[in-house]
């Protein structure tokens, strides 16, 4: 393996481990020493790849968190099918993954938005960029669905996107407690009722 590939592999391994630790313990409760102990690396090795703990976390946001959100909440909505059906399946699949993931501590994006609010403007900016991408994608998907006759013409797509995002953040947080599968079931039942209420009276097929 050449030096460039080896360096990329090392950085990826460090980022994945750091991501897991930050997710489980929180950013401010995780030290560089905690990461190095987990990875069995020296401080020199860490600072060879990253300028600081903050730089390390920003790269995790850019390389891991953004991709995770894209894969679970954005890519599944791409296409020309009924967006309400796509959204239902997307949320159902993402929450089912959370039910069976022992490392899941609520919605990771929501967790970090809360932790960094008022504490670190640079990291908040990067996190908000992910939120904006998700929001824009949802609004675009809904608008396309309205144009194609799947949604009622009076639907406010921006408001629907805000409601969907905030409700998803909320239920993922509640799923941290007891009976995550039951909470998911109840949420999805109500989500289907809501999406049915904004469906066009005569849906194109």
149 dihedral zone (left: phi>0; alpha: psi -120 to 50; beta) = left
* Intrachain domains 1-50 and 52-197 with the same fold: no
pLDDT at 189: 97
Q: Measure the CA–CA gap between 12 and 18, rounded to whole angstroms.
A: 10
By CB atoms closer than 10 A (0-12, 13-18, 19+), residue 112 is: buried
Structurally, at CATH architecture level, domain 1-50 sits in Orthogonal Bundle (1.10)
Q: Measure the CA–CA gap between 189 and 31, rounded to whole angstroms.
A: 41
Residues 6+ apart with CB under 8 A from 11: 49, 59
pLDDT at 109: 87
Structurally, at CATH architecture level, domain 52-197 sits in Orthogonal Bundle (1.10)
Q: Measure the CA–CA gap between 158 and 164, rounded to whole angstroms.
A: 10
pLDDT at 8: 79
pLDDT at 203: 52
In angstroms, the Cα distances linking 11 to 2, 4, 60, 68 are 14, 11, 10, 17
- Name the residue ranges covered by the structural domains of the chain: 1-50, 52-197
Mean pLDDT by 10 residues, the chain (205 residues): 74 89 91 90 88 94 90 89 94 86 67 92 94 95 94 96 95 86 95 96 61
| Residue whose pair of structure tokens reads 């039910």 in the numeric block | 99
pLDDT at 13: 86
pLDDT at 101: 67
């Amino acid at each position: 393996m050449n030096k460039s590939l080896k360096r990329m592999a090392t950085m990826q391994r460090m980022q994945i481990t750091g991501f897991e630790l930050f997710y489980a313990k929180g950013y401010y409760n995780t030290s560089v020493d905690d990461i190095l102990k987990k990875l069995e690396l020296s401080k020199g090795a860490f600072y060879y790849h990253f300028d600081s703990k903050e730089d390390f976390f920003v790269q995790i946001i850019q390389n891991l968190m953004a991709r995770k959100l894209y894969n679970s909440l954005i890519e599944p909505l791409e296409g020309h099918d009924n967006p309400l059906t796509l959204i239902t399946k997307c949320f159902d699949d993402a929450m089912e993954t959370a039910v069976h993931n022992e490392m899941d501590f609520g919605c990771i994006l929501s967790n970090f938005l809360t932790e960094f609010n008022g504490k670190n403007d640079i990291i908040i900016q990067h996190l908000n960029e992910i939120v904006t991408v998700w929001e824009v994608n949802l609004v675009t998907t809904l608008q396309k669905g309205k144009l194609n006759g799947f949604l009622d013409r009076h639907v406010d797509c921006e408001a629907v996107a805000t409601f969907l995002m905030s409700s998803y953040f909320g239920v993922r947080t509640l799923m941290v407690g007891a009976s995550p599968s039951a909470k998911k079931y109840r949420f999805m039942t109500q989500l289907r009722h809501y999406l049915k209420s904004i469906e066009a009276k005569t849906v194109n097929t």
